[in-house]
């Protein structure tokens, strides 16, 4: 099938590349000329495991191309995927200006039937706005060309997005006409050969499904973080509690790991947008407001633990910080807990030596002018002369370090662990003072 993907950000680039991988003819459009230059020269502007190799392979095969030419892109695909950004506005609502602009471009240049697919995470009712924008452009041209608008939300985890797209848990498609549903079934047939994953529904239900999924996952995380904080006060071990409740099949083990808060481009933005959507509809999502408040507070937990140990002033103190990305296998630092931890430490006069396997360039962009933040070439190098080690992201390479080396390089054997990577009993046996989240 001929497919156009508008937007070569995270969702657009992963979707376009994976659709090309199964044989489709994909043309990706972006108005950012520098981004298209990078893509056409063999690079990719994001870090995602497996994506570069897949993009290179399909680019060489001629199935994946990139352009800034709007007319060419609209003409190309029967399916027009809108995968542009929807950044949060000041009131928490999703900013749909790029979605509407993409829709207008389609209406301005389409010359035959198109299936317009909202792939971006958008509020309920966005399909109506997309349909209206296209209709206005067609009317201005004096045309009555048929088109369909479909909601096809993405469920991609950063760090595992290629795997998630190629082997999806579910394929949610919201559409109001059989012709569009049939086109989407044909498109996704290669991704569900073993069993049916295609869930067809009305457009508004599909739009709400995406927000509901991320809000539920964020709720589980904040719930466990709240329990972990309570466990500390009660002298209980949250890891044992996690095992006890996770063994219940109605609950399960996923997303029950306490830590120093969630971040990234999805959970914070989508929770805020759903809260705003409810407010605009005359309702109030009390639970989600609590989820958001709990998460913002949880990002400050490590800072509070450090102050409790060293005192209010951290002037003259130096901290090794392992992990800058909001989660492993990505360089994304949007809303990352590390930013809150660094801000807390800097505000009290501390210096920081940070290390992350892939997010160093992004961190330098964010903190490049801050003289008290330095960047180490390795986890070990960050430790030299530090008063303590602070762990913020659970990268695999941090799971089994040389604890004797940590003790040698630090001024004192002291670890503040925001991801509960180590066993407290083993840390005590190794002579390391260990402060985790909700552990005994």
Task: Determine the Cα–Cα distance for residues 76 and 78; give it in Å rounded to an integer.
Answer: 7
Q: Which residues pair with 117 in a beta bridge?
A: 81, 150
Q: Which residues pair with 390 in a beta bridge?
A: 321, 416
Two tokens, residue 70:
């709007």
> How big is the CA angle at 30 (ends 35 and 54), to the nearest 5 degrees?
65
Three-state DSSP class for residue 302: helix
H or E stretch at 293 = helix 286-298
- Is 266 annotated in the active site? yes
**332: nearest Cα among 357, 356, 359, 354:** 359
Q: How far, CA to CA in Å, does 36 sit from each of 39, 51, 62, 85, 365?
A: 5, 16, 16, 16, 21
Are 406 and 387 in contact, with CB atoms under 8 Å apart? no
Q: How far, CA to CA in Å, does 375 sit from each of 46, 279, 349, 393?
A: 20, 43, 17, 16
Q: How far, CA to CA in Å, does 29 sit from each of 77, 97, 165?
A: 11, 17, 20
How many other C-beta atoms are found inside a 10 Å radius of the C-beta of residue 135? 16
Task: Determine the Cα–Cα distance for residues 377 and 309; give it in Å rounded to an integer.
Answer: 28
Are 307 and 348 in contact, with CB atoms under 8 Å apart? yes
H or E stretch at 186 = helix 178-188
Choosing from 18, 28, 260, 266, which is the catalytic residue?
A: 266
How many other C-beta atoms are found inside a 10 Å radius of the C-beta of residue 336? 28
How far is residue 231 CA from its own chain's centroid? 29
What torsion, rounded to 10 degrees, do the Cα atoms 214, 326, 245, 160 define?
70
Are 14 and 49 in contact, with CB atoms under 8 Å apart? no
Instruction: Supply the DSSP string of 196-261, one letter for each residue.
Output: --EEEE-HHHHHHHHHHHHHHHHHHHHHHHHHHHHHHHHT--HHHHHHHHHTSTTT-STT----S-
Question: What is the side-by-side order of every strand in the sheet holding 171-174?
Answer: 64-67, 25-29, 2-6, 79-82, 114-118, 147-151, 171-174, 198-201
Catalytic residues: 266
């Amino acid at each position: 099938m001929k497919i156009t993907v508008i937007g070569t950000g995270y969702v657009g680039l992963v979707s376009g590349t994976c659709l090309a991988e199964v044989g489709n003819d994909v043309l990706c459009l972006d108005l950012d000329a520098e981004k298209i230059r990078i893509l056409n020269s063999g690079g990719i502007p994001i870090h995602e495991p497996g994506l570069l190799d897949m993009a290179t392979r399909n680019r060489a095969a001629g199935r994946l191309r990139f352009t800034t030419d709007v007319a060419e892109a609209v003409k190309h695909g029967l399916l027009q995927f809108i995968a542009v950004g929807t950044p949060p506005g000041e009131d928490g609502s999703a900013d749909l200006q790029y979605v509407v602009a993409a829709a207008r471009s389609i209406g301005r240049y389409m010359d035959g039937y198109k299936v317009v697919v909202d792939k971006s995470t958008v509020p309920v009712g966005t399909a109506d706005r997309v349909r209206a924008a296209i209709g206005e452009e067609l009317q201005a041209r004096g045309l009555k060309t048929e088109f369909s608008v479909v909601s096809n939300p993405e469920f991609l985890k950063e760090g595992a997005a290629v795997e998630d797209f190629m082997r999806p848990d579910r394929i949610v498609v919201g559409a109001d006409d059989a012709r569009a549903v049939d086109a989407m079934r044909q498109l996704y047939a290669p991704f569900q050969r073993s069993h049916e994953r295609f869930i067809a529904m009305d457009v508004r239900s599909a739009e709400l499904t995406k927000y509901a999924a991320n809000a539920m996952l964020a709720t589980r995380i904040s719930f466990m973080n709240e329990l972990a904080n309570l466990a500390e006060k009660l002298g209980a071990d949250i890891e044992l509690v996690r095992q006890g409740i996770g063994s219940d099949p109605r609950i399960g083990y996923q997303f029950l790991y306490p830590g120093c808060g969630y971040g990234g481009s999805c959970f914070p933005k989508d929770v805020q947008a759903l809260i705003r959507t409810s407010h605009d509809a005359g309702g109030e999502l009390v639970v989600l407001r609590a989820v958001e408040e709990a998460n913002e507070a949880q990002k400050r937990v490590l800072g509070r633990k450090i102050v409790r140990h060293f005192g209010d002033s951290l002037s003259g103190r130096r901290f090794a910080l392992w992990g800058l990305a909001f989660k492993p296998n990505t360089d994304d630092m949007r809303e990352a807990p590390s930013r809150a931890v660094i801000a807390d430490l800097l505000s009290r006069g501390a210096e920081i030596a940070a290390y992350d396997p892939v997010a160093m360039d992004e961190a330098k962009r964010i903190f490049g002018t801050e003289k008290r933040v330095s960047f180490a070439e390795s986890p070990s190098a960050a430790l030299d002369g530090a008063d303590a080690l602070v762990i913020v992201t659970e990268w695999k390479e941090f799971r089994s370090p040389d604890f004797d080396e940590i003790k040698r390089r630090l001024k004192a054997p002291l670890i503040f662990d925001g991801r509960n990577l180590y066993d407290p009993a083993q840390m005590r046996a190794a002579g390391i003072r260990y402060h985790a989240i909700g552990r005994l």
